[in-house]
Amino acid sequence: MRCKALTCHFNEQRNEFWQLFSTLLALTSAAQHSLLTLTGGSIGQGLPAATGAAVAAPDRPVLCLEADGSALYTIQALWTQAREQLNVTTVLINNAAYAILRMELARTAAGQASERAARMLDLSGPTPDFTAISTGLGVPAVRVTTAEDLDRELRRAYAEPGPHLIEAIVPPVVPAPGTAW
């Protein structure tokens, strides 16, 4: 297992393209693997896709990178992972927002979101406790706030069979005022 295969870069502009590009670049030097990714259209696909991958290839560990807003659409997949003892490690990237929906709204050139619209894209008040939700569905979970903690918890999860969730708290992604992504 080469944990260096996964690198996440959050630059000052929080440029989503750069994050994806740098992750894919890191994967080109990784050990042989498969990459399943959404090709467009909806959110919520990550957890069920990881569950399906683990069922289809039970001899291979699965790493699922899932955002908090997306996870809310299909969080029940964790229960299936627990019930079937699937070897899935989920890194749930928690920025307390539907960041992709913020980005799509900004791309419409409709101007600044109203207070009500902005509130609908925010996942605080109450903020979901994904560690508690995961544990309640039978998947052991931890929360991390640093890259070092993430590295340590990924190594721990890979060393133990069965499903795991690592909730990675990251800064909110908010477009600069007056800019489109």
Query: What's the CA gap between 67 and 65, in Å, rounded?
Result: 7
Q: What is the mean pLDDT of residues 158-181?
A: 80
81 Cα distance to chain centroid: 16
Highest mean pLDDT (candidates 19-33, 87-101, 105-119): 87-101
129 Cα distance to chain centroid: 14
Cα separation values, 155 from 48, 63, 127, 161, 180, Å: 23, 12, 27, 12, 38
Q: How confident is the model at residue 18 (pLDDT cuts 50, 70, 90)?
A: low
Q: Check pLDDT > 70 for residue 176.
A: no
**The pLDDT of residue 20:** 62
Highest mean pLDDT (candidates 99-103, 113-117, 164-168, 174-178): 164-168
**The pLDDT of residue 104:** 74
Query: What's the CA gap between 71 and 50, in Å, rounded?
Result: 12
Q: How confident is the model at residue 160 (pLDDT cuts 50, 70, 90)?
A: very high
Query: What's the CA gap between 124 and 106, in Å, rounded?
Result: 20
Q: Check pLDDT > 90 for residue 105.
A: no
Q: Are 6 and 31 in contact (CB under 8 A)?
A: no
The model carries a pTM of 0.76
Element (H, E) at 78: helix 77-84
Q: Which residue has the higher pLDDT, 74 or 101?
A: 74
Q: How confident is the model at residue 17 (pLDDT cuts 50, 70, 90)?
A: low
Q: Check pLDDT > 90 for residue 48.
A: yes
- Judged by DSSP in three states, 26 sits in helix
Pick among 3.30.540.10, 1.10.260.40, 1.10.287.1400, 3.40.50.970: CATH of 38-169: 3.40.50.970
Per residue in 45-79, is it b (16+ CB within 10 Å) or e — as a string?
Answer: bbbebbbebbeeeeeebbbbbbbbbbbebbbebbb
